[in-house]
Amino acid sequence: MRMILNIEPKPQTRPRFSKFGTYEDPKMKAWRRQCSQLIEQEYDGQFFDGPIMVDVTFYMKAPLSVSKKPTPKARAKTWDAFKEFMSETLWHIRIPDIDNLVKSLFDSISKAGYNKVDKKGIVWTDDSIVCALIARKKYSPNPRIELEIKELE
Mean pLDDT by 10 residues, the chain (153 residues): 95 81 85 94 92 97 82 84 85 94 96 79 93 97 96 93
Q: Containing domain of residue 76, as a range?
A: 2-151
Predicted pLDDT of residue 56: 98
Indicate which CATH number applies to the domain containing 31.
3.30.1330.70
Amino acid, res. 27: K
Measured CA to CA in angstroms, residue 85 lies from 59, 108, 141, 145 at distances of 10, 27, 7, 16
Predicted pLDDT of residue 83: 84
CA distance between the termini of the chain: 16
How many structural domains compose the chain? 1
Predicted pLDDT of residue 74: 84
